[in-house]
Amino acid sequence: MTAKVEIPSALQRFVKDQPVVEVPAGTVKNVFSGLISEYGELKNHLYDENGEIRSFINIYLNDKDIRYAQNLDTEVKAGDVLQIVPSIAGGR
């Protein structure tokens, strides 16, 4: 009963270079906790010093921004795809 999390290229080195990681389904909050417990180096990149998901990170569940659903309480089912997308391009 797993969901897929697409990992941006800038973070793949922390998940053994995998572009997609399978994690147990649950809420988005649970999925991220599971991700961090398996790949601890991600924590500082995904969470700020207050333990919140960093503000420039957009999380899409099946292409829909979770901010317009139940945010971190949004249910992620087996087979669903989560994407981690920085909202700032990092370019000029």
Partner 1 sequence: MKPGAKALGSSIAELIGGTPLLRLERVWPEGNLFAKAEWYNPGQSAKDRPALYILDEGERSGRLKKGMTVLDATSGNTGIAYAMIGATRGYPVCLCMPASVTPSRIKVLKAYGAELILTDPKLFSDGAILKARELYAADPERYFYADQYGNENNWKSHFETTGPEIFAQTDGRITHFVSTLGTSGTLMGVGRYLKSRSAHIQVIEVQPDAAFHGLEGMKHMESSIVPEFYDPGFADRKMTVRTEAAYRAVVELAREEGLLAGISSGAALEAARAVARENPAGVVVTVFPDNGLKYLSEHFWDDIL
Applying CB under 8 A, the residues found at the interface with partner 1 are 6, 8-11, 45, 48-49, 54-58, 83, 85-92
Q: Taking the mean position of all CA atoms in its chain, how far away is CA 39?
A: 12
- If the CB atoms of residues 17 and 49 are measured against partner 1, the closer one turns out to be 49
The residues facing 53 across adjacent strands are 47
Q: Which of residues 11 and 25 has its CB atom nearest to partner 1 in the complex?
A: 11
Q: Which is nearer to partner 1, 1 or 90 (CB)?
A: 90
How far is the C-alpha of 26 from the C-alpha of 73, rounded, in Å? 9
CA distance 24 to 32: 10
Shortest distance in whole angstroms from residue 61 CB to partner 1: 16
